[in-house]
Amino acid sequence: MNLLAKINAAVEKAEKFVISVSVIIMAVLLIGNVIMRVIVNDSWAFTDEVGRFLVVTMTFIGSAYAARIGRHIRMSAIYDMLPARVRRVLMTLISFVTALGLFVVTYYCFEYVQFLYESGRVSNSLRIPMYLVMIFVPIGMFLMSVQYLLTAVTNLVRKDGPYVSPLKKDTEAEDSDQLYSA
């Protein structure tokens, strides 16, 4: 378990690093491009392309990070009104199904990246191989899959749930218990 905890911590640091660096690079590029347009009346040709690459990276790695910390989007109107035991069972089921679906999508994403690699497709301006950019899609999908699987396992193992991520207990569910019992 200690090894898994270390791997999990390293992956979390990598996710934070990739997201942070992507945001910083995008901000510098976009601000620099605006300054170039105002001062020289010309844009950097590569800014749009790099911006799109960074958006893809931030979206999928950021989604994995959001699943890790339990800040992903949830539709919970009915869920919040259910008793804690039912919520835990439902969250376990939802997490397992979501993990399974994301594992399937991950497989197809890897297939697509392999296709990009074999076809030799490159980006228009910078001539970057497209598989290098798109590899973040299946990586992010896989990391999300693992987080949802860990959430389901956490809800099965720990009885003080429900948990919305492996580390975050559903405190909104506790609040709604108190609200509906009053």
Burial of 1 by CB count in 10 Å (0-12 exposed, 13-18 middle, 19+ buried)?
exposed
Q: What is this structure's pTM?
A: 0.84
What was the pLDDT predicted at 1? 65
Q: What is the pLDDT of residues 127-166, one digit of tens each?
A: 999 999 999 999 999 999 999 999 999 999 988 879 998 8
Place of tokens 């497709």: 121
Q: How far apart are the first and last CA of the chain?
A: 41
Helix, strand, coil percentages, rounded to 5, for the chain: 75, 0, 20
User: Domain ranges in the chain?
Assistant: 2-181
Q: Which amino acid is at 127?
A: R
